[in-house]
Amino acid sequence: MGSQRFWFADSGPLYSGRSFEIRHGGRHRHRRLELGCRTFGRLVTSGAADDQLLLRVAYDGRLFSGFQRQRSCESVQEFVEKKLQKALGWNSHIQFASRTDAGVHALDQCIILPASKSWFLKKHSKKLSRLRLYLNSHFERKVVVWQAAWLSANFSFKKDVLWKTYRYLIYNSRVPLVMDSDLYLWIKKPLDWEAMKREANHFLGEHDFAAFAKSSGREAASKASGTTRKILSMRMKRSPHPSWSDSQFIEIDVRGKGFLHHMVRNMVGSLVDIGMGKPLDVLELLRGRIRDRAGRAAPASALTLLRTKVRDSRLKVFDPSPQSPRL
């Protein structure tokens, strides 16, 4: 842990598409750089990373092509890295808790910059408490930093993210929603609430979610992570529209340590099918492991990464807000 670890920025096209190794936190990681036509600065050393800077951010998924860097279109990762370079001279990649799909929003995405405190203080006289304001002034309101804190160097997302909660929004009404209509999946037909709740319960616990993985099947085939995941809780809530008494809003909150690609959207898609009267049996689908038998993926723009729970003891310093957010 005490050893020097260096952070590299590449010179763009040179490394494009190649894998190389970065030593970090005592573990080796392979990273595939997909920089395309973008050029980073020159090779820099950002110092020893005996600490890591945690940024908790929110963004509107409609503005980006997903979190992870893409070749052609702007991702949250690319945007944040570009702005961090400008604001902090940060010339390396960031790490992040969740690979949100294109169109998926986040209220609590965790981003880590493996930067040492001394490097940070040498480069920037700004205190951590001012950092959030400073970064937000660079982020054009497209990404909002709402907390900045130091984590110990041995913090890792794999070990120390206890759970994540995604929220899916449905609008069940015969008439369309006039505002923010793309933030809700609009279902015209009245949904069978009891059937949906009953079947949703079957997602709880540890299962093989192959039937709810992305249809391309690439993930299902990978042996490294497998398709077994654990759903810690599933909360479904409905509330009436403030003006139209035959219309209602439905929130589905799914909590788990990790999720497969498209998993929440596929689960919600099946629940909606069930609500509309399709005879789907979640337990049978889980057992069957066949993607095509389950419902379609629900649209991305109604999904939000709501909360990322990080192990408390790893947080050395909180941003000194009057009522400090509990992670």
DSSP element (H, E) containing 162 = strand 161-172
Q: How many residues bind a second copy (CB under 8 A)?
A: 39
In this structure, the chain runs to a length of 327
- Among residues 241, 261, 289, 316, the one that binds a second copy under rule CB under 8 A: 241
- Among residues 3, 21, 178, 239, the one that binds a second copy under rule CB under 8 A: 178
- Among residues 86, 174, 287, 311, the one that binds a second copy under rule CB under 8 A: 174
Residues numbered 37 to 66 that lie near a second copy (CB under 8 A) are 58-60
State the nearest-atom distance from the C-beta of 220 to a second copy, in Å. 31
Nearer to a second copy, 183 or 187 (CB): 183
Q: How far apart are CA 129 and CA 74, in angstroms?
A: 29
Mention every residue, 6+ apart, whose C-beta is less than 8 A from residue 164. Answer: 97, 98, 255, 256, 257, 258, 259, 305, 307, 308, 309
Question: Is residue 216 near a second copy by the rule CB under 8 A?
Answer: no
State the nearest-atom distance from the C-beta of 136 to a second copy, in Å. 7
- Among residues 19, 243, 292, 320, the one that binds a second copy under rule CB under 8 A: 243
State the nearest-atom distance from the C-beta of 7 to a second copy, in Å. 27
Question: Is residue 321 near a second copy by the rule CB under 8 A?
Answer: yes
Q: How far apart are CA 262 and CA 299, in angstroms?
A: 10
Question: Is residue 320 near a second copy by the rule CB under 8 A?
Answer: no
* Residue (of 74, 65, 113) closest to 93 by Cα position: 113
Nearer to a second copy, 91 or 109 (CB): 109
| Phi, psi angles (nearest 5°) of residue 99 | -90, 75
Fill in the per-residue mask, 143 to 162: x = in contact with a second copy (CB under 8 A), - = not in contact: xxxx----------------
Catalytic status, residue 246? no
State the nearest-atom distance from the C-beta of 25 to a second copy, in Å. 27
Amino acid at 73: C
Mention every residue, 6+ apart, whose C-beta is less than 8 A from residue 35. Answer: 10, 12, 13, 15, 16, 69
Q: How far apart are CA 276 and CA 20, in angstroms?
A: 49
- Among residues 244, 277, 278, 290, the one that binds a second copy under rule CB under 8 A: 244
Number of Cα atoms under 13 Å in the Cβ half of residue 14: 10
- Among residues 85, 136, 152, 156, the one that binds a second copy under rule CB under 8 A: 136
Question: Is residue 108 near a second copy by the rule CB under 8 A?
Answer: yes
Q: Is 252 exposed, middle or buried (CB count within 10 Å of its CB: 0-12, 13-18, 19+)? A: buried
Question: Is residue 237 near a second copy by the rule CB under 8 A?
Answer: no
Q: Which one-letter DSSP state was computed for residue 313?
A: G
Calculate the alpha carbon distances from 110 to 144, 287, 311 in Å: 12, 33, 12
State the nearest-atom distance from the C-beta of 59 to a second copy, in Å. 6
Question: Is residue 101 near a second copy by the rule CB under 8 A?
Answer: no
CA–chain centroid gap for 184, Å, is 19
State the nearest-atom distance from the C-beta of 221 to a second copy, in Å. 34
Q: Which stretch binds a second copy (CB under 8 A): 44-52, 73-81, 274-282, 317-325?
A: 317-325
Tokens of 71: 């070749």
Question: Is residue 167 near a second copy by the rule CB under 8 A?
Answer: yes
Question: Is residue 313 near a second copy by the rule CB under 8 A?
Answer: no
Chain positions contacting a second copy, by CB under 8 A: 58-60, 105, 107-108, 132, 136, 141, 143-146, 167, 174-181, 183, 190, 241-247, 306-307, 321-326
